[in-house]
Amino acid sequence: MVSKEIVFLEVNMKHKTMLQGFEWYLAPEDKLWIKIKNNAKKYESMGITSIWLPPAYKGHRGCYDSGYGVYDLYDLGEFDQKGSVETKYGSRQEYLEAIQALKDHNIAIYVDVVLNHRIGADELETVLVDEVNRDNRNEIINANKEIKAWTKFTYPNRNNKYSTFKWDKSYFKAIDFDDNEHQNGIYLFKDRVWDEHVSHEYGNYDYLLGADVYVLNPVVMDELKHWLHWYYDTIQFDGVRLDAIKHIDALATKEILESLRDRTHIKAVGEYWSGDIEELIHYHELTEGTMALFDVPLHHKFHDISTGTSDDLSTLYHGTFTERYPEYSVTFVDNHDTQIGQSLESWVEPWFRNHANAFILLHENAYPCLFYTDMDNQFIQKMIAVRSQYEGSNFVDIHDKKHTRTFGYTDENGYIVSMSINGDNIESLYIGQNCSGTVYFSLEDTNDRIIVDENGYLNVPVKSKEVKVYIQERVHYDFSVL
């Protein structure tokens, strides 16, 4: 048995950078798996050490489904189901080739695991339910109602390959559509109860969408473990990104992860979408550090500053998961759900994106996860290279002013980041008299130079709404891949 002592962040985490390798608005013709394969070498050279890939299994909209509308977990783009053989991202063979290319270039692979729901059943079943209030799921508004529900998944075109398991109403807990009356609602199956260890929004936020998986049913639990083991055996991933965990009983998620860790060490990061730090802390403690969590409160701080709702750089880490558990935190600026038009829309405005990415990449805390759409930004690419190549330990963070912040490493080969959201600023940093005359130049413009004075101080300028990164002239970072 493999030890359960799982530490999420790897040794020397300051060199580790994750990439979310997709975005919501990709189209089938973008051929993501081929693109990932072709970019693997470039990602390694840039300093990307791990990549989070989208759900690779068949969704209910076939090749137009992002993968989050799960139909068949065992179909990785191999079977003619839901109108296509390929998924939105390509075929099973293309997926496996992308995985191998990433491994060949030393990039750890995080697969997206969606356990909460199924959509697109093959057959209807009659189910006795209690309809509940959308705003308070603990309140029954229509008891003992008989509905027709899409709950039978038989996968005829897969024909039992990889698994003979078929889903039916016994393995679900609730659904949101009555086909009998063509009516939407939230229908809790009779003799079922909501899971206890979930978010308490709407009274109980167990139900999210589709046919809600009854994870605490022993048969379902065994099947989910079996699938995860099959998936691991198929591609030998390094970690998992767990989707929508606030809607799944925390102890069930913990048990499923630990079943795989009986065989192998894997990392895990969970998406618990809440800006309430106390909720994240409670979940972390309840699951006993089974996984890292995305720092959603920090993302909201970035968004609020970018939209003018907040104007305080000094408290960026206050009330964040990174502040409390940096060794279990994954920081990010945006993701597919926060994009414009999506369910959790909270897009960080363009003027502040470089600021936010500089903060997650070049501050000393947490493990940054970059977003797919930011990877064409050369300034961000250069910051990844600095992060991946820098060695040092003497970190300083000056944040005694609301509108400006300066941080970095004052070691002999250090770098300095200075940012402003309102007003020009000059911050004076003591580098050391032995460094007098040392030249720093801007990542964006090598002609923009500042020099350590005779007393050992570096005067770092920044203009309003600007972020600057200065590196020492004598340090030779490799930007050749950019």
Catalytic residue list: 243, 271
Report whether 433 contacts 451 (CB < 8 A).
no
Q: DSSP for 278-324?
A: HHHHHHHHHTTT-SEEE-HHHHHHHHHHHTTS---STTTTTTSHHHH
CA separation for the pair 100, 291 (Å, rounded) = 25
Query: Closest by alpha carbon to 75, among 160, 145, 180, 150?
Result: 160
SS3 (DSSP) at 184: strand
Catalogue the long-range contacts made by 88-92 (C-beta closer than 8 Å, 24 or more residues apart). Answer: 88/26, 88/27, 88/28, 88/32, 88/54, 88/59, 88/63, 88/64, 89/22, 89/26, 89/28, 89/31, 89/32, 89/33, 89/54, 89/56, 90/31, 90/32, 90/33, 90/34, 91/33
Beta strand 467-472 pairing with 439-442: antiparallel
Write the CB contacts of 299 (distance below 8 Å, at least 6 apart in sequence). Answer: 332, 333, 334, 338, 346, 348
